[in-house]
A and B are shown apart, each in its own frame.
Chain A
Amino acid sequence: MSEARRPTRTVRVDALARVEGEGRLWVRMRRGRVEEVRLDIYEPPRFFEALLRGRDFREAVDITARICGICPWAYQMSAAQAMEDACGIRVPRGVRDLRRLVYCGEWIESHALHVYLLHAPDFLGYDSAVHMARDHPEAVRRGLELRKVGNLVMSLVAGRSVHPVNARVGGFYRVPTREELQSLVDPLRRARDLAEQTVRWVAAFPFPGLEREVEFVALRHAEEYPILEGRIASSGGLDVSVREYEEHFQEIQVPHSTALHSLLHGRPYVVGPTARFNLNFDRLTPSVQDLAREVGVVPPCRNPFQSIVVRSLEILYACEEALRLVEAYEPPAEPAVDVQPREGVGCAATEAPRGVLYHRYRLDASGTIREAKIVPPTAQNQRSVEEDLRAFVQENLHLDHRQLTWRCEQVVRNYDPCISCATHFLRLEVVRE
Chain B
Amino acid sequence: MRARRPKLAVWKFASCDGCQLSLLNCEDELLALADRVEVAYFLEASRAVVRGPYDLSLVEGSVSTPEDADRIRQVRKASRYLVTIGACATAGGVQALRNFADCQEFLSTVYARPEFIRTLERSTPIADHVPVDFELRGCPVDRAQLLEVISAFLAGRRPRVATHSVCVECKRRGLVCVMVAQGTPCLGPVTQAGCGALCPGVRRGCYGCFGPAESPNTASLARAWSQLGATAQEVARAFRTFNAAADAFRAESERHERG
* Of listed B34, B68, B94, residue having the most chain A CB within 10 A: B94
Indicate which residue in B21, B97, B199 contacts A162 across the interface (CB closer than 8 Å): B21
Contact B110 A173 (CB under 8 A): no
Interface status of B48 (Cβ within 8 A of chain A): yes
Interface status of B65 (Cβ within 8 A of chain A): yes
How far apart are A317's CB and chain B's nearest CB, in angstroms?
22
Contact A163 B18 (CB under 8 A): yes
Interface status of B84 (Cβ within 8 A of chain A): no
Contact B45 A49 (CB under 8 A): no
Chain B residues with CB below 8 A from A253, complex form = 111-113, 116
Contact A420 B64 (CB under 8 A): no
Interface status of A9 (Cβ within 8 A of chain B): no
* Of listed B45, B112, B209, residue having the most chain A CB within 10 A: B45
Identify 13 residue pairs between A and B in the complex whose beta-carbon atoms are under 8 Å apart, listed by A's number. A17-B45, A17-B47, A19-B44, A51-B106, A56-B234, A66-B94, A70-B17, A131-B48, A144-B31, A147-B24, A159-B202, A162-B18, A258-B117
Contact string against A for B residues 22-53, beta-carbon threshold 8 Å, 1 for contact and 0 otherwise: 10110110110010000100111111110000
Contact B119 A44 (CB under 8 A): yes
Interface status of B147 (Cβ within 8 A of chain A): no
Contact string against B for A residues 155-173, beta-carbon threshold 8 Å, 1 for contact and 0 otherwise: 0000111110110100011
How far apart are B245's CB and chain A's nearest CB, in angstroms?
13
Chain B residues with CB below 8 A from A17, complex form = 43-47, 49
Chain B residue, CB-CB nearest to A252: B112
What is the bound-complex CA distance between A10 and B207, given in angstroms?
50
How far apart are B235's CB and chain A's nearest CB, in angstroms?
13
Contact string against A for B residues 189-205, beta-carbon threshold 8 Å, 1 for contact and 0 otherwise: 00000010011011110
Contact A44 B14 (CB under 8 A): yes
Size bracket of the A interface: 35 or more
Chain B residue, CB-CB nearest to A140: B31
Contact A147 B44 (CB under 8 A): no
Which A106-160 residues have C-beta < 8 A from chain B? 113, 117-118, 127-131, 133, 137, 140-141, 144-145, 147-148, 151, 159-160
Chain A residues with CB below 8 A from B19, complex form = 69, 162
Inter-chain pairs besides A44-B65, A68-B18, A113-B24, 6 sampled, C-beta below 8 Å: A18-B47, A44-B95, A49-B109, A51-B94, A140-B31, A147-B27
Which 4 residue pairs spanning A and B have beta carbons closest together?
A69-B18, A128-B46, A127-B48, A17-B47
What is the bound-complex CA distance between A418 and B44, given in angstroms?
11
* Of listed A17, A68, A129, residue having the most chain B CB within 10 A: A17
Chain A residues with CB below 8 A from B109, complex form = 47, 49-50, 53
Interface status of B241 (Cβ within 8 A of chain A): yes
What is the bound-complex CA distance between A59 and B39, given in angstroms?
38
What is the bound-complex CA distance between A169 and B64, given in angstroms?
31
Contact A51 B98 (CB under 8 A): yes
Chain A residue, CB-CB nearest to B38: A130
Chain A residue, CB-CB nearest to B18: A69
Contact B116 A46 (CB under 8 A): no
Which B141-198 residues have C-beta < 8 A from chain A? 195, 198
Chain B residues with CB below 8 A from A409, complex form = 47
- Interface residues of chain B, those whose CB is within 8 Å of chain A, are 12-22, 24-25, 27-28, 30-31, 34, 39, 42-49, 64-65, 67-68, 93-95, 97-98, 101, 105-107, 109-113, 116-117, 119, 123, 139-140, 195, 198-199, 201-204, 207, 209, 234, 237, 241-242
Indicate which residue in A16, A50, A151 contacts B25 across the interface (CB closer than 8 Å): A151
Contact A163 B48 (CB under 8 A): no
What is the bound-complex CA distance between A216 and B230, given in angstroms?
48
What is the bound-complex CA distance between A166 and B123, given in angstroms?
28
Contact A117 B106 (CB under 8 A): no
How far apart are A248's CB and chain B's nearest CB, in angstroms?
19
Interface status of A72 (Cβ within 8 A of chain B): yes
Contact B110 A45 (CB under 8 A): yes
How far apart are B137's CB and chain A's nearest CB, in angstroms?
13
How far apart are A409's CB and chain B's nearest CB, in angstroms?
7
Contact string against B for A residues 284-305, beta-carbon threshold 8 Å, 1 for contact and 0 otherwise: 0000000000000000000000
Known A-B contacts A45-B119, A49-B110, A133-B31; A69 and B140 likewise in contact (beta carbons under 8 Å): yes
Contact B45 A51 (CB under 8 A): no
Contact B45 A130 (CB under 8 A): yes
What is the bound-complex CA distance between A141 and B29, given in angstroms?
11
Indicate which residue in B12, B117, B201 contacts A45 across the interface (CB closer than 8 Å): B117
Contact B201 A159 (CB under 8 A): yes
What is the bound-complex CA distance between A118 and B111, given in angstroms?
31
What is the bound-complex CA distance between A389 and B169, given in angstroms?
51
Chain A residue, CB-CB nearest to B103: A47
Interface status of A346 (Cβ within 8 A of chain B): no
Chain A residues with CB below 8 A from B95, complex form = 44, 46-47, 51
Chain A residues with CB below 8 A from B204, complex form = 165-166, 168, 173-174
Chain A residues with CB below 8 A from B64, complex form = 44, 46
Chain B residues with CB below 8 A from A145, complex form = 27
Interface status of A15 (Cβ within 8 A of chain B): yes
What is the bound-complex CA distance between A15 and B116, given in angstroms?
21
Contact A163 B209 (CB under 8 A): yes
What is the bound-complex CA distance between A162 and B195, given in angstroms?
12
Interface status of A21 (Cβ within 8 A of chain B): yes
Contact B27 A144 (CB under 8 A): yes
Contact A18 B14 (CB under 8 A): no
What is the bound-complex CA distance between A252 and B111, given in angstroms?
9
What is the bound-complex CA distance between A255 and B113, given in angstroms?
8
What is the bound-complex CA distance between A133 and B30, given in angstroms?
11
How far apart are B202's CB and chain A's nearest CB, in angstroms?
4
Indicate which residue in A118, A129, A130, A420 contacts B16 across the interface (CB closer than 8 Å): A420
Contact B27 A148 (CB under 8 A): yes
Contact B94 A130 (CB under 8 A): no
Which A1-54 residues have C-beta < 8 A from chain B? 15-22, 42-51, 53
